[in-house]
Amino acid sequence: MRKIIVLSLIAVFLLPIAVTAAGSQEDKADVKTIAVVTPYMANATTAYVIEQFKADAEQKGWKVRVSDTAGDFGMVVSRIEDAVAQNVDAIVLGMGDPAQMTKGLITAREAGIPVFGLDAGLADGVVLNITSDNTDLGKQTAQLLVDAMGGKGEIVMYTHDPHPGVRARAVGAEEVFNSNPGIKIVNKFHIDVPGPVDNARKITEDIITADSSDKSLKGIWAGWDEPAYGATQALEAASRTDVKVVGIDGTDFAKAEIDKGGSFAGTIEQDFDQMAEKLADLIESYMAGEELTENWYQIPGKLYKK
């Protein structure tokens, strides 16, 4: 029985390797290879922007390898080191805070391999970062929520500070809430990843139960669409349509929910297509020896509401 199991496993293991190896035979020696390393591939928007970048890069004739560490930041460093060992032409960080990847960034710099941030952040060793103006995304959605609430009421915020982009959004949103005297932030909750929809749903169920007598809660600001989606479901189940929710990212499921005209008041679309395309162009220029004048590129967002 053991032999059968071992043989089956060898077959399962070798099949994809054989297929990949057969494919790589066709690669030309001068093809540029880009390694994309991300801890957040399970996040819908991360997956989308990386797929877009991959498509843009492949159009330029480059080969793209994507590694996901499923939320493990320690592993991101290892994946960067692996990419350095494979002598890739460039490394792209697909979101995540580069400040947590210092060891990998040093290894890449020592090997002369440039590292670019795709909606990540800047740190020593990162040539440039391209991102949405996250603070502005936070501000615009916060203002949308304030307007949807009629300018007054209590708010809770769903955040995820380990992600620098989400952290910047929360800072921007808080600025707007604090500048509106009718708005009071009563609590902030850290949302777990993975499992943000269910986590946000459970927290929302709990806080609306606690708020069931005074019904003073009027708004939920979420740092991205998934927790906003979970919150909307809990509000819908409890018939608390008086509470409005906003998210960020402009995902398809969020737009579908907003179109229904319930609690989900709006989201903001990041222009991931442009972000991915611009990064591919910048990498091309860099590799062609052009000097880049900036290290921080921002793409504006666009509100989506009913």
Partner 1 sequence: MTDSRIIESMKEKRNTGKFIRTWGTLMGFILLFVIFTIIRPDVFPSGRNIRNIIEQVATLAIVASGVTVVMVTGDFDLSVGAIASLVGIVCAMLMEAGINTPVSIFIALLLGTAAGFINGVLVAYGGLSAFVSTLATMTAFGGLSLLLSRGTTIFGLPENFRFLGQGSLGFIPFSVILMVIVLVVVYLMLEQTTYGRRLYAIGGNEEASFLSGINTKKVRLAAFCLSGFFAAVGGVVLTSRLYSAHPQAGSPFMLNAAAAVFLGMTAFRDGEANLWGTLLGVLIMGVMGNGLNILGINTYVQSILTGVIIIMAVLLSSLAKKKA
Nearer to partner 1 by C-beta: 145 or 208?
A: 208
Q: Which of 78, 81, 253, 273 binds partner 1 (CB under 8 A)?
A: 253
Per CB under 8 A, 226 contacts partner 1? yes
CA distance 135 to 142: 11
Per CB under 8 A, 227 contacts partner 1? no
**Cβ neighbours around 48 below 10 Å, total:** 17
**Cβ neighbours around 31 below 10 Å, total:** 12
Q: Tell me the two tokens of residue 43.
A: 């996040």
Minimum distance of partner 1 from residue 166's CB (angstroms):
14
Residues 104-143 that bind partner 1 (CB under 8 A): none
Q: Are the C-beta atoms of residues 156 and 185 closer than 8 Å to each other?
A: yes
Per CB under 8 A, 206 contacts partner 1? yes
- Nearest C-alpha neighbor of 46 from the set 305, 272, 297, 197: 272
Nearer to partner 1 by C-beta: 84 or 208?
A: 208
Size of the site for partner 1 (CB under 8 A): 43
Q: Which of 59, 212, 285, 295 binds partner 1 (CB under 8 A)?
A: 212
Q: Which of 48, 65, 122, 262 binds partner 1 (CB under 8 A)?
A: 48
Per CB under 8 A, 241 contacts partner 1? no
Residues 2-41 that bind partner 1 (CB under 8 A): 2, 5-6, 41
Minimum distance of partner 1 from residue 236's CB (angstroms):
9
Nearer to partner 1 by C-beta: 68 or 277?
A: 68
Residues 63-82 that bind partner 1 (CB under 8 A): 68, 70
Torsion of CA 215, 190, 254, 170, to 10 degrees: 90
Q: Are the C-beta atoms of residues 127 and 114 closer than 8 Å to each other?
A: yes
Nearer to partner 1 by C-beta: 47 or 99?
A: 47
**Extended strands (E) in 160-292:** 183-190, 217-222, 244-246, 264-269
Q: Which of 15, 21, 210, 292 binds partner 1 (CB under 8 A)?
A: 210
User: Torsions phi, psi of 190, nearest 5?
Assistant: -80, 130
Q: In this chain, which stretch among 74-82, 117-125, 135-143, 185-193 interacts with partner 1, using CB under 8 A?
A: 185-193
The upper half-sphere exposure of residue 71, i.e. CA atoms within 13 Å in the direction of its Cβ, equals 8
- Nearest C-alpha neighbor of 303 from the set 265, 273, 277: 265
Q: Tell me the two tokens of residue 14.
A: 């070798």
Minimum distance of partner 1 from residue 189's CB (angstroms):
5
Q: Are the C-beta atoms of residues 76 and 35 closer than 8 Å to each other?
A: no
Classified as helix, coil or strand, 88 is coil
Max Cα separation, the chain? 72
Q: Which of 79, 167, 201, 218 binds partner 1 (CB under 8 A)?
A: 201
Torsion of CA 192, 196, 201, 202, to 10 degrees: -30
Q: In this chain, which stretch among 18-26, 76-84, 183-191, 260-268 interacts with partner 1, using CB under 8 A?
A: 183-191
- Residues making contact with partner 1 (CB under 8 A): 1-2, 5-6, 41-44, 46-48, 51, 68, 70, 186-187, 189-190, 192, 194-195, 197-199, 201-203, 205-207, 209-210, 212-213, 226, 229-230, 233, 237, 251-253, 256
